[in-house]
Structures are given as C-alpha cells and as structure tokens.
A and B are shown apart, each in its own frame.
Chain A
Amino acid sequence: MDTAGLLPLVIAVPLLGAAVLVAGGRRLPRIVTDALGCAFAAAPAALALLVLARVAGGGAGPYAVEWVGGWHLAGGEGVGIVLVADPLGAGLAALVSVLVVAVLAYSWHYFEEPPRRHGGAFTALILLFQAGMCGFALTGDLFNAFVFFELMGVVAYALTGYRVEESRPLHGALSFGIVNSLGGYCMLLGITLLYARTGELGLAQIGRALDGRAPDGLVLAAFVLVATGLLVKAAAVPFHFWLPDAHAVAPTPVCMLLSGVMVELGVYGVARVYWTVFSGPGGVPHPDLTRALLVIGTLTALLGALMCWRQRHIKRLLAFSTVAHTGLFLTGVAVLSPEGVSGTALYVLGHAGVKAALFGCVGVLLDRYASVDEHELYGRAGELPVTGVLFTVGGLALSGLPPFGTGLGKALAEEAAGQAAGWLPALFVLVSAVTGGAVLRVALRVFAGAGRPPRAAEDGPETTGEAEPETGGRLRRVPVPMLAVPAALLAGALSVGVLPGVAATAERAGRLFTDARGYRAAVLDGRPVAAPAAVAQHWPTTGILLGLLSTALAAALAALAVWRPARTGATALTAPVRRLQSGHIGDYVAWLVVGMALLTALTATGLR
C-alpha cells in the first residue's frame, strides 16, 4: 500500500478499537480488554512510524497527501477532505501513538477495576483520545482540525473526570471542559470568517486564496479567533488556568498524555495554521506574529516557572512545569525560522518522554501512600529507591541536562531564539533551572528526606495533595510496568538526544514545515517536492554549556530550598500571583477574553 493510503488507518484503527471495546468490553475479562486496547493502539503506532520513515526517508517525496474517499481536486476545486503527512505531522502522530501504548502498558491491570458493566471503558476512551490527536496532527483541513480538536477535547474532559466518586476531579474536568469548549467555539468563528472570505476550508486552499489581496480586519479577526482556540489548548498565559486544575486531578495515565502531547498539539496547531494559512502577504506579517508569540511565550514561561516552584501538590507542580515549557515551545516557534521549529520539535519529543516518566513516578507515590503532597510525603519514600532514581533523573533531564533530548531541543531552540533576541537564551536557562529545580527539590525531600520537614506557607492560597489511590487499594509492592514504563520513557528521551538520525530528521522537518509554498504545491497541485538534503546536526557547544549551567542551577536551587537556614519573606511576594489561580470558572473565562484582547493588540499593527 502506498504511504498516503495508510493515513486514514492511523485514525480509523483506534476508533474501531474504541467501538469494539465499548461494545464487547463488558463481556470480556480484564486481561483481554487490556490486551485488545494495547493491540489497537500499537497498530497505528507502527503505521505512523512507517509513514514517518517513508516521508522522512525521501524516497517518495516528503509529503504524503490523501484525499479521503477519493474526492480529489478537479481543476483546483473540490469539496474533498485532505490528510497530509509531512515529517513533523507524521512524527507527532507517531509520538502520540507510542505514548498511548506506553500509557496503556503503565495502567496494565493497575488501574482500579472499572465498575461492573463498564469494562474496557477507560481503554476505549484512551483510544478515542489517540484518534483525535492523530487526526489533529495529520489533517490538512481547517474545519476537520476543529472537529478533531473537539474530539480530543471531549474525551479529555471525560478522562479527567473519570473518577466521578470524588469532587475534585469533577471540578477540574468542568473548568477544563468549559474553557476549552469556549476556545473551540472561538476557533470555529474564526474558521467561518475565513470561509466567508475565501470559500475554502483546506489549509493550503485558504492560504493561497488569502494571498490574492492585502490583509484587513477580517483576516486579523479570523487569525485572533483561531489562535485563541489553539492557545487555550496549548495553555498559554492567560489561557492556561484550566491546565493545573485538570492535571492535578486527572488519573495519572491521563496526565501523561495531557502533559506529554495534548498541550503540545496546541502549539503545533498555532504553528501549522500560521505557516500554511497566514504566513503569506495576505496574512499576518512575520514581525507581528513574532512579537505576539514572544510576549505570550515569555509570560507563559515565567509565570509557569514561578507557580511551579510554589507548589506542594506534586502533580500540580508538574502541570505548571508543563505550562512553563509550553512557553518555551511558543518562544521557539515565535522566531519563525526552520531552526526554531526543528529545535522545538526535538524539545517537545524529549519533554514528552521526561514529563510522562515523571508523572508515572508520581503515580507510584499516589498508589502507595494515598498522597501526592510534598510535605506529607517528606522522607517517607526512601523505601522506593528505583522510583527515586527515575524521578531524580527525570528532574535532571527536565532542567536540560545533556545528552537528553530535552537538552538537545533546548540547545537548538535557544540558539535559534538567540538569533532573534539576545536575551532569550537566558529565559530558556532560567525556566529550565527553576522547573527542574522544583522537581529535584521534591526528590530530595520525598525520597531522601533531606533537610528539615517543610512547613506550610501561611500566606496565600495553596492546594494540598491528599488523594485517593487509583489502584484497588494501597500498593504494597510496585508492579513492574509502573517502573518499566517510566524507565523506557526516559531511555526514549535520552535516545532523542543521542541518536543523530532523530536530530537530522527534525532539521529537515523544520525546513519543510516552514515552506508554505512547497506545502501548497504538494497538496493542491500534486507536485512532488524535492526533499531537502539532510544536514547533520551537532550539539552546539554553547548549548551544552548552557544545559550544564541550567542543570547546575537547578541542583543549587533545590539544595537551597531544602537546606536554607530559615524562611525568607519571598513567599509573600508571590501570593498575589497565586491568588489569580482561583479555581473559579468565571474568572478563567474572563481571562480568556483578556487574552483575546491582548492577542488583538499585539497583532493589530499588521493592518495598514
């Protein structure tokens, strides 16, 4: 079968698996539903990897274009829906699918036996989630992107509130659902405006039609609306408030997917839509987009890092670290260079493995001690040396330690960003150091019992971390998959930085991704685009030094936090910022409107 013919299968197989599990799950024993789920997730993973190998290999050209159902363009016009795999999109679909397999292996038999008559429901939802995310990564049609966006959204709300017996997951799922759905409707309004202007829904078609005339208020409004929806998913400040609330309460395997790939798909969406639709003369000028994304990305990175440092609920801490890293990803994309895109892609790849592994380790703590609170767990987890080592290695990798994939991605992204503005590498180092340092602080306190027992802050709001275990009862012995999967994920993150082929593929993917003309020619004219020659990527020396610097800073921050002589008054300074995270849905919606206004103000100078 040709490469393009495989694309619908990557989306259809998990959908089919979900249907099979929902229909037959209740009649099958647990082990069969788990095995079926893994098989239905692994098959698209293999397909996506095959597609990636073919489009990245360059034999048949770097784009695989499939008009679903044979509805091809006739004379440049058509109503068909197109799936497009370039190396970056195919790579993301492969990452999603591999991570889903890892998550299903992690929850193998561990996740509490679902209530009677609902066997297989959890696995079915995960498969639906996989289909939505793969579809979003592979679609070449803006309206379909909205549909997949909502599919993954709805499934993610259901998965977040999966433990319906407790009130916190319900609260988190409601905030998540309302804010993300409103973002989705903004995106649809924007798509409608683009359709009104161009009469097209395909990314390539809209882009080509827009370039016929100068941009005006309608194009700008459409951009702001579409970008709002995608930035809500990406949890960029000030659209980010839903993310910590949802991640703190979602089941651990779901957190691995939400933090590892779903949030990053929002960043991917912004970059994909910008390059294919708005990057030409009829769209949003490059300097305006760079300014907007740099402002939002910097705010996101700094606020995420600050809030991450102040958490005691470990899952929430990791959630804010995701916010901070999303800010760095947005910054890497903002410089609008192929190097920025490929560096960010590697960073996302490494981050997905590291963050999922860290969440996996926290899941072990949760199921053994019924708590994810740094203060309550102080010194208690010394009996879990393997988990402790994995968690510490994850913290070091998160802070950008070479030769992990996070280190390489950070090095390349900050090098690209540094060419746009000289102070940006400092932002990368600072944010990596603070988020990695927060994880290392937790490792020191929880696994090593270092320093004095921490005390609660009396100033400002705080979320404590008592929670119910997700297994049938508290674990007495840690199951093998719950340790093997985080270890494998960390090994994967390491291989991203070590294997030269990964970096070379990302470099080519970045150049293809930023070539809007090539994309349109491949999709609309069916013209084969010559694959750019591979350039060997090396670890930049400055990047290695900055990575070592941020790791050393992270370790120093963690040590300082654990062994510092006495409380300083610094915690009081952050209380106003922490109060913004109020847990109130109305506030979050108000911030969404503020964010739209900010985005409009930052891009409005593109009008003349």
Chain B
Amino acid sequence: MTVLPYLVAGWIFLVGVYGLVTSRNLIHAVGCLAVAQSSTYVLLLAVGYRRGGTAPVFSDVPPDRRVVDPVVQALALTDIVVGATVTALLLALVVQLRKRHGTVDPDALSDLKG
C-alpha cells in the first residue's frame, strides 16, 4: 500500500481548483472543473487496487484469481457519465454566452453583483 496515488488525487484536485480560481476564460474554467473531477477517478481506482490483482472480468480467468475491486470501477463509470453531462451542458452555456455577450472572459460578466 503506497500513499502516492492518494497524493496524486489530492494534487489533481487542487490544480483544478487553482485553475478555476484564476481562470480568465470560461472554456478553460470548464476544463479545470473536469481536471478537478478526474481526481475522483484516480482516488476511486486507487482505493480499489489490490496488489497482484487483475481486471475483474471472469470470462477468461479462474474465479479464485485475485482481482481488483469491481465496485469502484462501476462507480468510476457512473462518475464519468455524470462528468460528461456536466461538462457538455456547461460548455453549451459558454457557447451560448459567447454568441449573446461576445465574450468568454468571466471578468467581463458584471451584471450580477451586490
């Protein structure tokens, strides 16, 4: 058991958040959100890892063979679906904003404040 994957997951999340905070372009911001999300993939797969385990597909390995945890892989798949939906919707909003407002710079959006 090594801590490296957990550190990597935390690092990816923080990098994504840093990008979101400093972003000057909304497309970049949505990308950063996807980066932050990919930390959840790394963490999920790290949690399910078993040393010496193989893929949990039993069609061609004996049933007593040591495999990695299939539950987290199912969770990661669900997570990817959620992420794809969110990213697609947010990008569509950004495209529409560019059409209506002529900008993708978050600093130029100043209607809502106070």
Contact = CB atoms under 8 A, between A and B. Distances in A.
A164 B101 CA distance: 11
Contacts of A193: 43, 47
* Cβ-closest 9 pairs across A and B: A461-B114, A583-B113, A167-B101, A196-B47, A583-B112, A578-B114, A461-B113, A170-B97, A589-B20
Contacts of B37: 181, 185
Nearest to B106: A585
B89 A189 contact: no
Given A147-B82, A174-B93, A192-B47, A583 B29 contact: no
Contacts of B106: 584-586
B22 interface: yes
Nearest to A171: B109
B44 A192 contact: yes
Interface string B66-82: 00000110010011001
B43 A586 contact: no
B15 interface: no
B78 A171 contact: no
Nearest to B98: A170
Contacts of B26: 174, 585
B86 A154 contact: yes
A585 B72 contact: no
Nearest to B101: A167
A248 B40 CA distance: 32
A527 interface: no
Given A154-B89, A157-B90, A182-B17, A581 B114 contact: yes
Contacts of A280: none
Given A586-B106, A593-B17, A189 B43 contact: yes
13 contacts: A164-B93, A174-B26, A177-B93, A181-B86, A189-B13, A192-B40, A249-B112, A462-B113, A579-B113, A579-B114, A584-B106, A585-B20, A587-B21
Contact of A170 (B40, B82, B100, B113): B100
B114 A589 contact: no
A113 B18 CA distance: 42
Given A165-B100, A185-B36, A590-B21, A172 B112 contact: yes
Nearest to B97: A170
Given A174-B90, A579-B114, A164 B96 contact: yes
Nearest to A578: B114
Interface residues of A, number: 54
Interface in A574-608: 578-579, 581-587, 589-590, 593
Nearest to B37: A185
A147 to B, nearest CB: 6
Contacts of B100: 164-167, 170
> By CB atoms of chain A within 10 A, which of B39, B71, B96 has the most?
B96
A178 B33 contact: yes
Interface in A161-205: 161, 164-168, 170-175, 177-178, 181-182, 184-185, 188-189, 192-193, 195-196, 201
Interface of B: 9, 13, 17, 20-23, 26, 29-30, 33, 36-37, 39-40, 43-44, 47, 71-72, 75, 78-79, 82, 85-86, 89-90, 93-94, 96-97, 100-101, 106-107, 109-114
A167 B39 contact: no
Contact of B111 (A168, A188, A578, A586): A168
> By CB atoms of chain A within 10 A, which of B71, B75, B107, B112 has the most?
B112
A171 B112 contact: yes
> By CB atoms of chain B within 10 A, which of A157, A188, A201, A593 has the most?
A188
Given A195-B72, A245-B112, A174 B94 contact: yes
A158 interface: yes
B98 to A, nearest CB: 10
A583 B110 contact: yes
A150 B89 CA distance: 13
A171 B26 CA distance: 10
Given A170-B100, A589-B20, A583 B90 contact: no
Contacts of A582: 113
B90 A188 contact: no
A583 B82 CA distance: 26
A150 B47 contact: no
B112 A168 contact: yes
Interface in A422-467: 460-463
Given A143-B75, A189-B13, 18 more contacts: A150-B85, A154-B82, A154-B85, A158-B89, A161-B93, A164-B100, A170-B93, A177-B89, A178-B29, A182-B36, A244-B112, A463-B113, A578-B113, A582-B113, A584-B106, A585-B106, A589-B20, A590-B21
A573 B44 CA distance: 48
A79 interface: yes
A593 B14 CA distance: 10
Contacts of B43: 189, 192-193
Given A188-B40, A195-B72, A196-B47, A586 B20 contact: yes
A125 to B, nearest CB: 11
B93 A173 contact: yes
Contact of A586 (B13, B21, B90): B21
Contacts of A157: 86, 89-90, 93
B104 to A, nearest CB: 10
A154 B22 CA distance: 24
Contacts of B39: 185, 189
Contacts of A173: 93
A460 B40 contact: no
Contacts of B89: 154, 157-158, 177
A276 B94 CA distance: 39
B49 to A, nearest CB: 11
Nearest to A307: B114
A582 B110 CA distance: 8
Contacts of B21: 586-587, 589-590, 593
A327 to B, nearest CB: 20
Interface string A310-347: 10000000000000000000000000000000000000
Contacts of B114: 310, 460-463, 578-579, 581
A192 B46 CA distance: 10
B17 A79 contact: no
A310 B114 CA distance: 9
B109 to A, nearest CB: 5
